[in-house]
Chain A
Amino acid sequence: MFTSFDISTSALVANRTRLDAIAANIANADVPVDPKSRNPPFSEQVVYFAPGDPVSGDPNGVHVAAIQPRNDFRRAFEPWNPLADKDGYVRYPNIDPVVQQANAMLATRSYDANLAAIEAAKSMISSSLSIIS
Chain B
Amino acid sequence: MNDPLGIVSRINTQASGFSRPGQSPAGQDFKQELLDEMRKVNQMQQDATQATNDLLTGQRDDIEGVMIATQKADSAFRMLLALRNKVVDAYDEVRNIRV
Residues of A within 8 A of B (CB): 1-3, 5-6, 9, 12-13, 16, 55, 118, 122, 125-126, 129, 132-133
Q: Taking CB as reference atom, which chain B residue is nearest A15?
A: B64
B5 to chain A, nearest CB (A): 8
Q: Is the CB of A118 within 8 A of B68?
A: yes
Whole-angstrom distance between the alpha carbons of A132 and B88 in the complex? 12
Number of cross-chain contacts by CB at 8 Å? 45
Residues of B within 8 A of A (CB): 1-5, 7-8, 62, 64-65, 68, 71-72, 75, 78-79, 82-83, 85-86
Q: Is the CB of B83 within 8 A of A132?
A: yes
Q: Taking CB as reference atom, which chain A residue is nearest B74?
A: A122
Q: Tell me the dominant secondary structure on chain B's binding face.
A: helix
Q: Is the CB of A129 within 8 A of B82?
A: yes
Whole-angstrom distance between the alpha carbons of A126 and B76 in the complex? 10
Contacts of A122 in B (CB 8 A): 71, 75
